[in-house]
Structure 1
Amino acid sequence: MFRGILINKDEAGYQARLQEIDDAVLPAGDVTVRVAWSTLNYKDGLAITGKAPVVRRFPMVPGIDLAGSVTESADPRWQVGDQVLLNGWGVGETHCGGLAEKARLRGEWLLPLPPEFTPRQAMAIGTAGYTAMLCVLALEKHGLQPGDGEILVTGANGGVGSVAIALLAGLGHQVVASTGRLGDADHLRALGATAVIDRAELSAPGKPIGKERWAGVVDTVGSHTLANACATTRYRGAVAACGLAGGMDLPATVAPFILRGVTLYGIDSVMAPLPVRAEAWQRLARDLDPGRLEAMTSEIGLGEAVAVAGDLLAGRVRGRVVVDVHR
């Protein structure tokens, strides 16, 4: 038996609660991990609250991220005692995840914990920070360089947005943060934003094409925000889209793409191949300032995760939340 959050759906409805879980609940896998830290991402909030059909199998342990140590392994790549981390791969959706003291996983899903990070720091980054790095890599591979112009980051107070600001600013870019919480403007500037704008400037229906402003964009919101970001991106600029906090739709036209040569990159973190993941974590170890990471991170115990999941979806959580699964 081990402690964890378990989601069930039965005659009583959809329920997520902290409880003792039998090992028999864990699915097949060739590596068992003693989880040290996990985290709460937007998708975890959806899974725990049932606000969207994230969970595909019941019962389910949520948690798309985890960091810990190997306790059993039938995979020759991993030995007992190895420090590992995991992001995505359907964990917390179709395969029991990281918001528990134990996980049974497939060895090919794991990465070695970078020596630059503690397990807690790796989870402060989590899928949100790893996704932010994938966005930055997409903009860099497009050719974007510091000095090329302003980079817009939407959903700036969220996990992806916060890490994206810290990364881009650390690399020398001029970052404009878009947020619905202007009271947090000083915090966003401390992370490296040079300017903060109200999300209302982008969230309403806009014109097919607008005044050129952004050399690049990291968008976590979708819907009208993404459409307006594309419409105001400069000639041959690039937009990296990785989220749908504002909606799954994209009410845009082809105008920015055929008149300005704007490129829209879709960023998937869940099924990205291992070489892509390894590159992202290597760059995070090199480019993410530990002080800025800590400034955007709060810590909770496993027993608080269900309540905080609701706060996260309601926009009452800033930055990253790490979960100590042993308290």
Structure 2
Amino acid sequence: MNASNPAPGSESAPRVTVVVLTRNHVRQTVDTVARLLALAECPDVIVADNGSTDSTVGLIAALFPQVRIVQALRDRGLAGFNRAMLLARTDYVACCDDSTWFVPGALARAITLLDANRDVAVLNARVVGDDEREIHPACLMLNATSPDTEHHVESPAGPALASYMAGACVLRASVFRALGGYDERLSHGGAETLAALDVLAAGHRIVYCEQALAHRDPLYRWFTRAQQCALARNAAWVAWMRLPVRDALGATGRALAVFARQRSLGPAGFALLRGAFWTLRRRHVVPPHVVQLTRQVRRAERHVRAGIPAMAEKYDRSGQRAW
């Protein structure tokens, strides 16, 4: 691990740390880290390596000695963020993967917004491709299904969300640490959904911030049959852990429908059932206002998918919850 950053409390101490999650993407990681270190906000940068077997760790250490590196022995998915978040010395932590970077000024705007809105714990960035007019479909879906957007509510902090993209967000570090980080069993899909429900249950807000702009290359990510089944299974597990029985049964039905479409009803259904005891032991239903928010978002998602099938398909295949 490398460290040569200003001490907290000094005039030049950064306000935000950027954690870059990577695994075996040396070229993209080098490019992303270089872009982040060139930002005027001068963020601390931590690379969270999920068990890379290529030259990622050695090359980052050689090229960027000021960057701290946190190494895992295997692919821990989103849980790879956890240890890096504990090492961050700033109030705010921006999270991205090795193909995503924040544009100049985006982190400064996020800091200003978080400073002014103490109840906001998570800002979801607007993610675009090379052409800034092409927005990530998960961002479009988040914005379109926000209850604030539906009811034409204008909030200075941005539209309220019930979830967020773990690989394109700015977090209040103290809130994330209080939650205990991302659950490793859900770390390849669903961990940020569980975290979002716990953030909201604790009385914080999650908002979509168009001013916090991030680029991603490539813009879309396609999932295998097994990954789509895992996403649906984990969504059902999260529902059983945090939502009323009605909602959990709905999530289970949607998972079974995905399993059937992917011709994996038997194996995936057994995996879902096998985790039932684990999820029920951790069951703690969130407050009614959080349940209501999730139901509003679910209804809005159905309308969006029915009205804009092309965007809905991209959302399904690119994966908001498995960024």
TM-score, scaled relative to structure 1: 0.29
Q: Which has the higher strand share?
A: 1
Q: Which has the higher helix share?
A: 2
TM-score, scaled relative to structure 2: 0.30
